[in-house]
Amino acid sequence: MNFRHIYTVLILLISFLSYNCSKNDNISDSIVDNLILSYYKSDSLSLDNNTMLLDTIKLLMKGIKFVKSNANDSLDFHTGPFKISPGMIQSVSTISSMDFPEGNYNKIRFEVHKPDTNEVLTDPEFSDTSGRFSLIAKGSFNGNRFIYKSKYSAWKILQFVNQVSISGSGTTNITLLIKPYIWFLNNGDFVDPREPGNSVIIDNNIKNNFNNGFSAFTDNDRNGIPD
């Protein structure tokens, strides 16, 4: 085989590979997930009281499931664990998306997750000399900075504001609305997270009022408000 033949073969091979790469890229781009799970942080309780300002919330979650009318009939969405971290900027942020089975779903189920001892952490803030944590809140109280960490861990089930219908055509966005300010309330006033004695109040709020600190709803325009 002379040089001209070798050159021709190389050109044909490059053309074949370029065509197939382009074809595969087009196939990949055409695949669209029909379910997106997002989150949004509410600052509603901070508007009338400047005592407490939360600028960062970090929360470890895992085992997200969508539940049908029968509580035992649930489908996995995301195993995790993973971190959600809404900050000062008010925007709806995506947790994950996937091609999900069609159907009508009434609830979402997930675990607020304190990592195990041997679990690899992508964020070192979830561990220190006192242990491992499921939730971290950063902000200021009366102008003084604080970082609050909770070891609370449990499964939670949230009823959707309205039943969620997921179809094979189009995309449904579900938003988890996080309302963290209620975790720091006691008898209508905010407590100082820097005071060790208030940790019992805050942890009990996180434990007992956690469902009130979350809601979930269809939010296809991704504005943090139920459609």
Amino acid 68: pLDDT: 85
> What is the model's pTM?
0.74
Place of tokens 């195990």: 116
Q: What DSSP assignment string belongs to 180-226?
A: GGGGGEETTEE--TTSGGGHHHHHHHHHHSTGGGEEEEE-TT-SSS-
Query: What does the DSSP 8-state code read for residue 47?
Result: S
All residues at 6 or more sequence positions from 117 whose CB lies less than 8 Å from its CB, including other chains: 132
* Tens place of pLDDT per residue across the chain (227 aa): 554 554 444 444 434 334 344 333 333 344 478 899 998 887 766 545 668 888 888 888 888 888 887 656 666 776 555 566 655 556 788 888 888 888 899 999 888 888 888 888 888 888 999 999 988 999 999 989 999 999 888 788 888 888 999 988 889 999 988 888 888 988 888 999 999 999 999 988 887 765 577 889 999 999 988 98
CB of 183 closer than 8 Å to CB of 41: no
**Cβ–Cβ under 8 Å, residues 95 and 177:** no
pLDDT at residue 211, as a whole number: 58
Interatomic CA distance for residues 150 and 204, integer angstroms: 10
pLDDT score recorded for residue 31: 45
Q: Which residue has the tokens 């509580």?
A: 71
